[in-house]
Amino acid sequence: MTEVSMTVNGKAVKADVPDNTLLVQYIREHLRLTGTHVGCDTSQCGACVVHVDGKAMKSCTMLAAAADGADVTTIEGIADNDLHPMQTAFKENHGLQCGFCTPGMIMTATDMVKRYQADGRELTEDAIRHELEGNICRCTGYHNIVKAIADGASKMTSA
Contact between 48 and ligand FES by CB under 6 A: the answer reads yes
Contact between 144 and ligand FES by CB under 6 A: the answer reads no
Q: Which of 2, 34, 97, 144 binds ligand FES (CB under 6 A)?
A: 97
Q: Are 29 and 68 a contacting pair, CB within 8 Å?
A: no
Contact between 143 and ligand FES by CB under 6 A: the answer reads no
Contact between 103 and ligand FES by CB under 6 A: the answer reads no
Strands 11-17 and 49-52: unpaired
Which residues, 6+ apart, have CB-to-CB distance to 3 below 8 Å? 14, 15, 16
Could you tell me what percentage of the chain is helix, strand and coil, using 3-state DSSP and rounding each to the nearest 5?
45, 15, 40
CB of 28 to ligand FES, least distance (A): 11
The piece of 5-13, 65-73, 78-86, 91-99 that touches ligand FES (CB under 6 A) is: 91-99
Contact between 39 and ligand FES by CB under 6 A: the answer reads yes
Give the residue among 35, 29, 34, 27 at the shortest CA–CA distance from 11.
27
Residues that bind ligand FES (CB under 6 A): 38-41, 43-48, 58, 60, 96-102, 137-139, 141
